[in-house]
Structure 1
Amino acid sequence: MSADAPSGPPPGARADWTIDQAWDRYTEAEHQVWITLYERQAQLLPGRACEPFLKGLDALDLHRTGIPDFARINEELRRLTGWTVVAVPGLVPDDVFFEHLANRRFPAGQFIRRPDQLDYLQEPDVFHDVFGHVPMLTDPVFADYMAAYGQGGLRALHLGRLRNLARLYWYTVEFGLLETPQGLRIYGAGIVSSHAESRFALDDPSPNRLGFDLERVMRTPYRIDDFQQTYFVIPSLQSLLDVTVNTDFAPLYARLAKAADIPLAAIEPGDRVFTRGTQGYARAGGRTGKAA
């Protein structure tokens, strides 16, 4: 949830860019948007989302009567993994974002989309941030990965390789797939919070689905305005954490500085291929905007 932003926080925000959620100011119509989004995803995700995500939904009781009160869900989240959710006014600067993650705070938008925006939203809202991201933070292994990513982000800023590290976040935290004995499952927030991409990522013949390789991922650009042309599959959450904490990123960044990007739809000789996509959707032009 980071972006280029002004050097200082906007009016009303604290020095760390956090704001009050102001939960009591949500309208009944705004709560109803959450309920509508939640209920259609809850029907779709069993058998598609990974077990840690589904268990996290149950543990945090995100349905209730509408938009969750961060103070309430933070009690259970803090108990399980030491994380909390903090409200921010929108996209925050990279250093602020990484600092929060490194200290087990997840920055979340506190606004919710309008009823006519159920399937498309340019900026992440509270549904994407809380429904999509927070259930996975109840899993101790993934929670450690997110904190390690935040620490790595602070280092990447000083090394000038943020572009490469952003791709790791995109293809794991936002759009990652997990290999399980029952088949591929979703753990990325950008997929689980999207009604359309929850189906596209697993069922459509168009995208490539490739085995995760850290350097490969960090050389691969991504789409921000439509469905992905390639998804990367991890064998386990533990493997994702292990490769992140056990990799010396300084020599990796040195190699990446000399390496060309890999085209979005390419399949390389060393790739582990789960699905060789037709790329039919992308070749047909995709569509305007992507489901939020």
Structure 2
Amino acid sequence: MGQAPVVYGQSSRPPRGDYGRAGADYTCAQDVAAYTEQDHATYRRLYERQSALLPGLACRAFIDVLPRLGAKERIPRFDDINDSLCKATGWQIVAVPGLIPETAFFTLLADRKFPVTDWIRTPGELDYIAEPDVFHDLFGHVPLLFNPVIADYMQRYGQGGLKAEKLGHCEMLSRLYWYTIEFGLIREEQGLRAYGAGILSSGGELRYSVQSPVPRRLPLELKRTMRTRYKIDTYQQTYFVIDSFEQLFALTEPDFTPLYEELETLPEYGADSELLIAPARAAS
């Protein structure tokens, strides 16, 4: 029992999760007893604030299933959510101490298990947090796992991730995850709406992503999306838009192996510009 902490990108602060509780697959028991009344109050405040912003900005599928997370007054028990989630789509959520390695992440998704960080941010981090916590993971990601199409897409992503790792193309695939599951937009009859967890759990980026004239909003196209770098410390300058979840599922159905081979010879797009950047690998 016990694993090494995981860090992605650059950070001056070590991960705060207790990785000593993690098993070989990086999962652990949800430490419900460790939550304080302040923790529950933080969750309640975040939930109330974010849910009030959803009308007109979040996709209808998300709004419709959000109540299935259960009561908003306290951090829910994962087992309670799993009772209904497993019946709906065969998924379950599992507790983790924080960020986990790509192999462990992909393996869990391929097995229809979604890792949820079990600690919550401090009151001073209501507007921004550098790494995902229980509110981001639960509120942002879990509701759409009740949607059969997204549920199947997430499992397919996990399976594709294990393959991409063997081929050395995790970075390309991570961009697709970033611009769909984390920061994706969908066009509905009523207009543009957000479905990405990073947007749905953010008080500022939700309105910015849908309504601001600043960022580019492009139709989701695999080659363009997987060639676009992203930033983790600012609002996105580029968003990719789908017309339906079924479209997203269909786009990712083919084998990506020839796509990876083509992409590694092509230049990349900067996260905040249309400028092309030389490819990381030269064509052989």
Tell whether the 8 Å contact from 1:132 to 1:188 is kept in structure 2 after alignment: yes
Residue 264 of structure 2, aligned match among 257, 264, 278: 257
Q: Which residue of 2 aligns with 1:127?
A: 135
Query: Given the alignment of the two structures, is residue 75 of structure 1 paired with residue 83 of structure 2, yes or no?
Result: yes
Q: Which residue of 1 aligns with 2:15?
A: none
Residue type of the alignment partner of 1:216? R
Uncovered stretches (5+) of structure 2, i.e. residues with no partner: 1-5, 10-17, 276-284
Residue 145 of structure 1 aligns to a residue in which SS?
Answer: helix
Q: Which residue of 2 aligns with 1:24?
A: 33
User: Per-residue displacement from partner, 1:161-219 (whole Å, max 9, x unpaired)?
Assistant: 11100000000000000011110111000000000001110111110011100111000
Report the alpha carbon displacement of residue 106 of structure 1 after superposing the two structures with TM.
0.5
Q: Which residue of 2 aligns with 1:118?
A: 126
Tell whether the 8 Å contact from 1:4 to 1:93 is kept in structure 2 after alignment: no
Tell whether the 8 Å contact from 1:167 to 1:220 is kept in structure 2 after alignment: yes
Query: Given the alignment of the two structures, is residue 174 of structure 1 paired with residue 182 of structure 2, yes or no?
Result: yes
Aligned-residue CA RMSD (Å): 1.7
Give, in whole Å, the separation in 2 of the partners of 1:3 and 1:12: 17
Give, in whole Å, the separation in 1 of the partners of 2:270 and 2:240: 14
Residue type of the alignment partner of 2:33? D
Give the TM-score normalised by the residue count of structure 2.
0.89
Query: Given the alignment of the two structures, is residue 102 of structure 1 paired with residue 110 of structure 2, yes or no?
Result: yes
Give, in whole Å, the separation in 1 of the partners of 2:32 and 2:221: 41
Tell whether the 8 Å contact from 1:62 to 1:131 is kept in structure 2 after alignment: no
Q: Which residue of 1 aligns with 2:48?
A: 39
Counting matched residue pairs gives 262
Residue 184 of structure 1 aligns to a residue in which SS?
Answer: strand
Residue 155 of structure 1 aligns to a residue in which SS?
Answer: helix
Tell whether the 8 Å contact from 1:60 to 1:76 is kept in structure 2 after alignment: no
TM-aligned CA distance change 1:62 to 1:258, over 3 Å: farther
TM-aligned CA distance change 1:196 to 1:148, over 3 Å: same
Report the alpha carbon displacement of residue 29 of structure 1 after superposing the two structures with TM.
0.6
Give the TM-score normalised by the residue count of structure 1.
0.86
Report the alpha carbon displacement of residue 10 of structure 1 after superposing the two structures with TM.
3.9
Residue type of the alignment partner of 1:255? E
Greater relative CO, 1 or 2 (CA 8 Å, sep 6+): 1
Report the alpha carbon displacement of residue 62 of structure 1 after superposing the two structures with TM.
4.7
Give, in whole Å, the separation in 2 of the partners of 1:193 and 1:263: 25
Tell whether the 8 Å contact from 2:230 to 2:270 is kept in structure 1 after alignment: no
Residue type of the alignment partner of 1:192? L
Report the alpha carbon displacement of residue 258 of structure 1 after superposing the two structures with TM.
0.3
User: For residues 124-163 of structure 1, what are the structure 2 equivalents within 5 Å?
Assistant: 124-163=132-171
Percent identity of paired positions between Structure 1 and Structure 2: 50
Q: Which residue of 1 aligns with 2:242?
A: 234
Give, in whole Å, the separation in 1 of the partners of 2:138 and 2:63: 13
Runs of 4+ deviating beyond 2 Å: 2-5, 9-12, 59-62, 263-268
Q: Which residue of 1 aligns with 2:215?
A: 207
Give, in whole Å, the separation in 1 of the partners of 2:271 and 2:8: 24
Report the alpha carbon displacement of residue 58 of structure 1 after superposing the two structures with TM.
1.6
Q: Which residue of 1 aligns with 2:281?
A: none
